[in-house]
Amino acid sequence: MAASRKLAGDEIESTPLSRPEYLRLLGARVRDARARHGMTRKMLAHDSGISERYLAELESGRGNFSIILLRRLADAIDVALAELVAEQPPPSVEYVLLAERLRRLDASELEAANEILTRRFGDLSMRRDRIALIGLRGAGKSTLGAPLAEHLGWEFVELSREIEREAGVALDEIFDLWGQAAYRRYERRALERLLRSRTRIVIASAGGIVSEPSTFQRLLESCWTVWLKASPREHWDRVIGQGDLRVREGTGDEQALVDMRRILAQRDERYGKADARIVTSGKTVRQALKELIARVEARP
């Protein structure tokens, strides 16, 4: 395993990580991935069957050293560790070669490549007839989405309700019975059903839709998206004000707010892929709605 960075002239400089450095990196990636999915350590322990104590050790860089053996094995064969542990069939040669080409691009080149792929393979003809609102819980997606749909004469759809319809049970039961991975599968299926069957809709997506790349990419290429953004403190106050106490579950207010800041920080770049951004901090619902309507009506 090596740390790489992009250099001028497309050269790649690789520096092998020491065992402690690798374990610290692994712990940080687990912590960041957990934050992107909006999961507390308690939630992850429940879904994975791994103790909170072990997860705390792993995230602090003191993980089980068996991962080091797999890393040494991958290095000896000269393959990516992910290739050895993946459950999916090996990708096609075309996929591997394309991924290698994309890996060598810098951030601006990747953005340009994504735009080309979206124009060529995306559902661009329907994007104008679907508006999707994204953002962390408490951003105002339902509060602003319903009156926006009414203004446009369209239908308002909460993706969470469609997920419940897809699963046949309430959201809490999905998490309790099958965990977050199952929720993400139902989310993808519900979104696909919506996109196949309906247009002229305003969709209030779940805050964590950005944590599943394939689902989020499908949303971006099929809907004109707006990121409703507020500060972590305002997200917190709004969620608590709505009587949703899940953010406090298993932790105190101070730690819960820290978790919310971490979630927003991990999702910030992905939310930023939206076509437009509306900052709702310090604004009344009427002010934010007016701005949102103006941005939607001015869309290409």
Judge whether residue 16 has pLDDT over 90.
Answer: no
133 & 183 share domain = yes
The mean-pLDDT minimum among 17-26, 89-98, 254-263 falls in 254-263
Q: What is the pLDDT of residue 67?
A: 81
Number of domains comprising the chain? 2
Provide the percentage of residues in the chain whose pLDDT is more than 90.
38
Judge whether residue 95 has pLDDT over 70.
Answer: yes
To the nearest whole number, what is the mean pLDDT of the chain?
A: 84
243 & 166 share domain = yes
- 144 found inside a domain: yes
178 & 254 share domain = yes
pLDDT, greater one: 296 or 125? 296
Judge whether residue 242 has pLDDT over 70.
Answer: no
- What CATH number does residue 212 fall under? 3.40.50.300
279 & 160 share domain = yes
- CB proximity list for 110: less than 8 A, separation 6 or greater: 102
**Maximum CA extent, the chain:** 61
- 221 found inside a domain: yes
254 & 166 share domain = yes
- CB proximity list for 157: less than 8 A, separation 6 or greater: 194, 198, 201, 202, 203, 204
DSSP state of 282: T
Average pLDDT (98-120) is 88
- 102 found inside a domain: no
- Tell me the two tokens of residue 285: 């619902």
- What CATH number does residue 60 fall under? 1.10.260.40
153 & 10 share domain = no
Q: Which domain holds residue 257?
A: 115-297
- 148 found inside a domain: yes
pTM flag (> 0.75): no
- 110 found inside a domain: no
d(C-alpha 38, C-alpha 34), whole Å:
6
133 & 274 share domain = yes
